Amino acid sequence: MANTRPSVNKRRKEANRREKKAAKAEKRAQRTAEKAARVPVTSGEEDPDIAGIVPGPQPIPWAEFAPIEPEEESEEQEEGQEENAS
């Protein structure tokens, strides 16, 4: 029993592969064009994503609600440190 269907299915698969490949190539070209169209940030301008960020420790965001005061060392701890130093 000869089956003629496989060649038709094969042609259909190949056509689908070509269409997918063409669609991917089109998307790649579109992304490349979009990248080229973007305005690059020059060295003199500040990047808007990081504008206002200062290097180093950042302020605690909840500090306004519960101010943190530095703890004072107790006398016992100071005496213990003096003994270790001698």
Q: Judge contact between 74 and 68, C-beta under 8 A.
A: no
The domain spans of the chain are 9-33
Supply the pLDDT for residue 54. Answer: 81
Q: Judge contact between 30 and 23, C-beta under 8 A.
A: no
The share of the chain scoring above pLDDT 90, in percent, equals 29
pLDDT band at 3 (very low <50, low <70, confident <90, very high): low
What pLDDT digit, counting tens, does each position of 21-62 carry? 999 999 999 999 999 888 775 666 777 788 878 888 877 777
Please tell me which residue, 68 or 57, carries the higher pLDDT value: 57
* pLDDT higher than threshold 80 for residue 18: yes
Whole-angstrom CA distances from 67 to 48, 51, 56, 61, 64 are: 31, 27, 20, 11, 6
Residue type, 1: M
Specify the residue for token string 């960020």.
53
